[in-house]
Amino acid sequence: MLDGPQTLSVSIWRGTGTTGAFQSFEVPRQGSQTVLDVVSWIQQNLDPTLTYRYACRVGMCGSCAMMVNGVPRWTCRTHVNKVDQGGALTIGPLRNLPVIKDLAADMDPFFEKWVKAEGLFHPARTRHEEVARVDPASEARRTADRAIECINCSVCYAACDTVAGNPDYLGPAALNRAWSVVNDERDAGRAEVLAAVSVSGGCHNCHSQGSCTRHCPNELSPLDSIAGLKRETARSFWRKGR
Amino acid sequence: MLDLRLYMLQRLSALVMAPLVLGHLALMVYAVQGGISAGEILARTQGSLGWALYYGLFLVAAAIHAAIGLRVILAETLALRSRAFLDLFTLAVGAVFLILGLRALHAVTLA
Ligand code: HEM
Ligand code: SF4
Ligand code: SF4
Ligand code: FES
């Protein structure tokens, strides 16, 4: 038998676009139950029209993030007994993104900002040249290491109050990616990346309060990556005046 | 809505203000010993080019810094996206602070 209430009172956001309301469901509690298990159980047993998104169920794909009792989380790796409030769960779509339907947020703005931040590889060689060797012990490589395990889950983006107040702000994940590109010795687009993160929605809008780092399920620190971008852009400001 | 230039301006103005704030606080602690009066302050500041420059620099830095700061607060509180409007707001706020400050500075130092 599990300790505490045997049923969960679950409130789930239902609706499309900007309209909707929370709907209540009763779900039996189980051992080692995740929040994603709860959502799946409702969809399989109570309401097949419930829309949500997941793929890997093991914290790899980054598609299952939702707001759980007001906090952005990867639901497949979030155990109910760590987050329920006396058997109550309120589950909504990710903050700071438009809603497609129910728990499925529209990720387009999130990924568009990755591209805007130049968070992509700018090759320096062609396929006919030798593969570049990167020393795993080099400082740049070790700095990049701390930023590369991002699963694009948008948890940090949902946690960021600056995104909430400034719709043009590129946000922690895109800037974290930009920082790993800046530290990639093979990348030929360093100046473009620094210019892309210096525009009016760029890294300089971050207030360094660290919600992104606090909530990142993969324990990355977009906060530190953004501090690195601020440092490098300030340096290039003195050198080139921009 | 800060780009690199506004960000640098805000950090640099803060950098200028930091030692000036400390000097200002130290002066206040010193000046308040044994009571303080308007006459005593004016005796120190009136006709002093040094104090006019000290507080003049402080004033310019504070006007720039506060105008950019208020721009950020306004933009994020109301989710404003118009750069033209925010630029106008920043310039207007900076100008008002500068004019008010320069008037006061003029009165206590060079008038
Ligand atoms: C030595 C003195 C000061 C230092 C070191 C300083 C530093 C800073 C810094 C680093 C920020 C950016 C915070 C962020 O982006 O998250 C900031 C913001 C701000 N500052 Fe100052 N400041 C000083 C004095 C002042 C003064 C005297 C005023 C008012 C006249 C002022 C008004 C503001 C405002 C309104 C903001 C915007 C708040 C925000 O962006 O979060 N500051 N200050
Ligand atoms: S530290 Fe910066 S990016 Fe992270 S949540 Fe705060 S404002 Fe957003
Ligand atoms: S930085 Fe962390 S929270 Fe943000 S998208 Fe990547 S894995 Fe998710
Ligand atoms: S389902 Fe893939 S990270 Fe949760």
pLDDT in tens, A73-106: 999 999 999 999 999 999 999 999 999 999 999 9
A76 and A127 belong to one structural domain: no
Ligand 1 centre distance from Cα of residue B66 (Å): 7
Report the pLDDT averaged over residues B16-24.
97
CA atoms of B94 and B77, how far apart (whole Å): 19
Phi, psi angle pair for A21, to nearest 5°: -160, 165
Q: Residue A40 has which token pair?
A: 């799946």
Is residue A155 a contact partner of residue A73, using CB atoms and an 8 Å limit? yes
Within-domain flag for A1 = no
Within-domain flag for A69 = yes
Give the ligand with the smallest distance to the CA of B90. 1
CA atoms of A97 and A164, how far apart (whole Å): 9
- Each residue's pLDDT, cut to its tens digit, for chain A (242 residues) gives 577 779 999 999 999 999 999 999 999 999 999 999 999 999 999 999 999 999 999 999 999 999 999 999 999 999 999 999 999 999 999 999 999 999 999 999 999 999 999 999 999 899 999 988 899 999 999 999 999 999 999 999 999 999 999 999 999 999 999 999 999 999 999 999 999 999 999 999 999 999 999 999 999 999 999 999 999 999 999 887 65
| pTM recorded for the entire structure | 0.92
A126 and A236 belong to one structural domain: yes
Last residue of a domain, one of A38, A72, A105: A105
Domain count of chain A?
2
* Best residue in A169, A204, A235 for a mutation probing chain B (most B CBs within 10 Å): A204
Please state the ipTM of this predicted complex.
0.89
CA atoms of A74 and A91, how far apart (whole Å): 12
Local structure of B65: helix, strand or coil:
helix
The predicted pLDDT at position A241 comes to 64
Interface contact flag, A166 B79, Cβ < 8 Å: yes
A-side interface with B, Cβ within 8 Å?
162, 165-168, 198-202, 204-205, 230, 233-234, 237, 242
Domain B4-110 falls under CATH 3.30.1360: no
A19 and A69 belong to one structural domain: yes
Kindly state the percentage of chain B with pLDDT values over 90.
80
A51 and A112 belong to one structural domain: no
